[in-house]
Structure 1
């Protein structure tokens, strides 16, 4: 309407700019500590909207290509159906074929990355042969299917994919930008371009966010921030360049506006969000000043019991382990857990851990516990980074490290023995600091009682370190949270807070 373009070209432009790019959203979110819900919505919106936006653009393009002749709508819908059919079929089938080859070790390890890339390119081309523009959907489906399989070398493929993505996206942006002539930019060097940009940022994006999140648990300020962060990415620019050039060769009226307009929207939204997202997060009140999430390294039975207690008390808790069985058990308890190698850099790039401010390393390997504190203590332990003491430190209580967890008399082996005999967490009300210190002395003398948290009247939980007498403001209303058997004077009072794990 603003540029006086036809409805067909206007709809194509609209379909192209609904795509928000994960390649530009992810770097922005990495630098802003946000609640997990907000960062997850923005991250997955960018990932899922890519193929949806591409398909919407393809559908509109087919309508334009067919023209307003007999069978106009029917032909376009048939083409769209073919894209869905062949894209989904090729992606699903070849995902299982490649996964089978990887699991059966039919591909030599040193050729795994090369063969995987070759199969992806083959799927893209073959699907495109059967249904034009279905290749993108095919490889997206293939990636989604393989990503949810338990593949032995999935981490290596992901690292290879990340390196390849950075290289190809950088090259693609250069090539696409080089495809725009100065005369194309002169077409949109006017006030109408600014009007379109402002309408997209301040009207269309907020309207879409508030309508789509109606009835969700997101608060108004969180919806407002999501409305502000909507940078368009490489898919919009790439498809705009492709379709724009094709329509120009067919002398479609208004086709010359498609590529430069989309590029202006991509460039403008990326620059706007990259420079203002952090400030706007503070203004909107979604910027986390104090990260209260807890990252637990190790998903043993001990970690799962503690994680379940924290989860029930509304703390964002994440368990990581390279033992798939432990991770699966944690997920069955409703906990957020994922397979991760503590020695890799993948954790540092996980934007859904932005609200983590406490680190607890609970593995049975002292070297891993110390490494976790050294490597991730600053990033994930801004409020406190703790680890289990080792057997040598346990025998020298006076020289326990300040990051030691729970008690200076309990290492991983003793904790697991207690967990095996008494897999429950209890609470006992405190009268004052003296009462707390008395109970701590009792736990030191009893191998079957492990103090883990100090619970404030408002429900806030403070992690107890091996220097367990550091708390000074204890008064009536506080509670001691502990693992193991109940104190003798608490038996029968129903203070158990976590069910036994089967």
Structure 2
């Protein structure tokens, strides 16, 4: 296909479709993107982006990778790394060079690659791509410490691994093409001066500019995007792929600056990153030539086995001795190291260049990197969840609820949910109120849930839903509005009445979904508890169906949510929630039934069950041996 506009449209639609299907099926999106790229490219020959894009291919890929790394840097706050700084530092500075050295040796002696190709390949495979790690962490729900280590390593190692490969390539040029070593040393030092201090200076300047109001809100995101592209290009003029380090440092600098609009900027960059990741994986995979894949031989299996099961685990184990990690955390970090876009993109650049310079197996490096990328995406993508569960490093295996506001109502709800093994945590900034939750043996967090401390100290990945239930309806709306983009607008709920007057009603874009229909406020719920209302959990069975359940409830009872056998939660107030079915456990809020009425219901249900059982026995007795009951 040579129509570039149509090709880009197909890649964009296919990429986002793969992301959506992966979300629905709860599988790593990168796996589907890899499959789509293989189908579009080497399997069918439908497109070849490297040939079709021509000279634009390399700069477009480089710019897209820089934007992705900058967005990753925006997620790294130094407050988050305090507990894991030693481990991350050792993994980057000790494990990284060890992996480079051991991978180069394995590539030469096991993969039978020439030394130039093997050394450059070793530098590339230090990289553990954030484009793969981030989606995996989003689904895996790891505990804070291992998740933080994997995220920091992936983002920091991306530019460092690329620089390792660049240095190896430049050394090859010095040895074989007459380049002067003095020029190489000067170039590397000059590039580092631009990359690190330049990235810090650019990040601080933008932070100062945005915090002082020197740029209007509608221009902040475009200015940021232009600055990333510009800083990446300037550093690349001095040292190829050096711009990746610049934009990463720039992103980390801005992440640790107090900018009020940082959350909005981060969401904008995340949207662009999802689009770029989806498109790039398809483009890079579709650009693979069938003959490159066919060049893979039996040696690559031995190389993969050593890289996956020996080099990475050994390097991480040695680097993290005395780093304060448990053996479970070291085992998980030593295994999980999927490679992604940066390794593939840089391999394509240097592989073709080495081939042009006369290195016979230069193109084979592309095939080896693709093999590592494909295998690590599949193995690590599908084993992260089970392994973290086996090592007890998951924050929770079931969807949880974060409740903001401690009161008699929320504590009673939390106790009922906890009895059903639903993870629940109550957060409140008032000590006397949060003490009520602790006395009831409910997990509690004392502090302002909207604070930066909550963002870094609360493991929000274990909570799929939020309920804002304080006595301040405006604050409830604010909490839901703040957490909505992260948890999902359809998964944040609040209590409170809807104002009758248009002057007092909030805009429909503010707040979450009402927990009750019709809505109930804090004072009304408190009064209902005083009147004897409580929470009840009832499991539906074949004999006790939902219609029968409704008949047995006292007047005014509200069905709040139900828990499916899989552990999934369904809130009754959500649009399209449907009705509970057999096996679901209903959590309701309503008045107590009289004991005599309760006894009648239980007796009637028991009598009905016994009658059905008796009828079944009579039917079985009436069937003679060899006959089939009709």
Measured against the shorter chain, the TM-score band is: 0.5 to 0.7
Q: 1:20, CA displacement in angstroms?
A: 0.9
For the pair 1:2 / 2:130, whether they are aligned, the reply is no
Structure 1 distance, partners of 2:334, 2:198, is: 35
Alpha-carbon distance in 1 for matches of 2:248, 2:318? 26
Q: 1:275 aligns with which of 382, 385, 389?
A: 382
Do residues 265 (structure 1) and 399 (structure 2) align? no
After superposition, residues 81-480 of structure 1 pair within 5 angstroms as: 81-188=189-296, 190-287=297-394, 297=404, 301-302=429-430, 321-322=449-450, 327=451, 331=453, 337-338=455-456, 352-355=459-462, 365-366=472-473, 368-369=475-476, 390-398=522-530
Residue 46 of structure 1: which of 133, 154, 171 is its match? 154
1:288 positional shift = 5.1
Superposition deviation, residue 142 in structure 1: 0.9
Check conservation: 1:295, 1:317, Cα contact below 8 A: no
Contact in 2 for aligned 1:36/1:355 (Cα 8 Å): no
Write the deviation string for residues 69-126 of structure 1: whole angstroms up to 9, x where unpaired.
8887655443332221111132122222222322233323222222221121111112
Residues 203, 250 of structure 2: 8 Å contact kept: yes
**Cα separation, 2, equivalents of 1:226 and 1:338:** 21
Q: 1:24 aligns with which of 120, 128, 132?
A: 132
- Structure 2: how far apart are the matches of 1:173 and 1:67? 34
CA distance 1:9–1:75, change in 2 (3 Å) = farther
Provide the alpha-carbon RMSD of the alignment. Answer: 4.2
In 2, distance between residues paired with 1:38 and 1:300? 27
8 Å CA contact 1:209–1:226 kept in 2: the answer is: yes
Provide the C-alpha distance between the structure 2 equivalents of 1:152 and 1:273, rounded to a whole number of angstroms: 37
Q: Work out the CA distance in 1 between the residues paired with 2:336 and 2:277.
A: 21
Separation in 2, partners of 1:402, 1:27: 40
CA shift, 1:402, in A, is 5.6
- Give the length in aligned residue pairs: 378
Shift, 1:367, TM fit:
5.6
Deviates more, 1:198-207 or 1:357-366: 357-366
TM-score (norm 2): 0.52
- CA pair 398-317 structure 1, distance change in 2 beyond 3 A: closer
Bigger mean CA deviation after superposition, 57-66 or 199-208: 57-66
**Bigger radius of gyration among the two:** 2
Equivalent pair of 2:316/2:333 in contact (CA under 8 Å): yes
Moved more, 285-294 or 55-64: 285-294
Q: 1:356 to 1:58 in 2, by over 3 A?
A: same
Give the superposition deviation at 1:236: 0.8
1:395 shift after superposition: 4.7
The 1:145/1:213 distance shift into structure 2, 3 A limit, reads same
TM-score normalized by the length of structure 1 = 0.64
- Segments of structure 1 that go 5 or more residues without pairing to the other structure are 340-349, 404-465, 468-502
SS in structure 2 of the partner of residue 87 of structure 1: helix
Query: Judging changes above 3 Å, is the alpha-carbon distance between structure 1 residues 124 and 177 closer, same or farther for their aligned structure 2 residues?
Result: same
**Alpha-carbon distance in structure 1 between the residues aligned to 2:356 and 2:431:** 63
> Which one has a larger percent helix, Structure 1 or Structure 2?
2
Per-residue CA distance 1:146-202 (angstroms, 9 max, x = gap): 1111112112211111111111222222222233211111211x2111111111111
Q: CA deviation at 1:370?
A: 8.2
Unaligned runs of 5+ in 2: 1-108, 406-426, 494-514, 516-520, 536-588, 591-630
Q: 1:330-374, CA deviations, whole angstroms, 9 ceiling, x for partnerless residues?
A: x5xxxx5459xxxxxxxxxx9x43346997857552365489799
Q: Which moved more, 1:85-94 or 1:135-144?
A: 85-94
Deviates more, 1:28-37 or 1:233-242: 28-37
SS at match of 1:8: helix
